[in-house]
Amino acid sequence: MNCIFCKIINDEIPSRKVYEDDDVLAFHDVNPQAPVHVLIIPKKHIAKVSDMDGKDELLLGKLVHVSKKVADDLGILDDGFRLVINNGMIQLLVRVIHVLLEVQEIT
Ligand SMILES: [Zn+2]
């Protein structure tokens, strides 16, 4: 499968990991669009919300829960941050469900 996230999970592509457990991996975006730009992904390849089955309910909830831990580790938990759940084709290479944790630059 030619999926960039699966390659990152399998260490075929290096990443700056900030959190990892059996189900979830979080890492800094290689091309950050915000001062803090972390991607939180399920290790199970789920391309779209419409591909989810009932068991994935907990996994997707866990992504949000991990975002809290990551924000705490990065020292931004109390500052406020934005969570974006992307589904399907957002960018050419990113077609898999992931949660973005971003701190917006205030301009
Ligand atoms: Zn994948």
Predicted pLDDT of residue 35: 82
52: CA distance to ligand 1 center in Å? Answer: 14
64: CA distance to ligand 1 center in Å? Answer: 19
Does any domain span residue 8? yes
Q: Phi and psi (nearest 5°) for 40?
A: -120, 120
Does any domain span residue 105? no
Does any domain span residue 79? no
Predicted pLDDT of residue 17: 96
Distance separating alpha carbons of residues 35 and 2, to the nearest angstrom: 29
8: CA distance to ligand 1 center in Å? Answer: 9
Higher-scoring residue by pLDDT: 106, 28: 28
User: Nearest-CA neighbor of 82 among 106, 57, 46?
Assistant: 106
Distance separating alpha carbons of residues 74 and 7, to the nearest angstrom: 25
Q: How many domains does the chain have?
A: 1
The torsion region of residue 51 among left (phi > 0), alpha (psi -120 to 50) and beta comes to alpha
Does any domain span residue 17? yes
Full domain range(s) for residue 3: 1-25
Tens of pLDDT, residue by residue over 5-56, are: 889 999 999 999 999 999 999 999 888 877 888 999 989 888 777 788 888 8
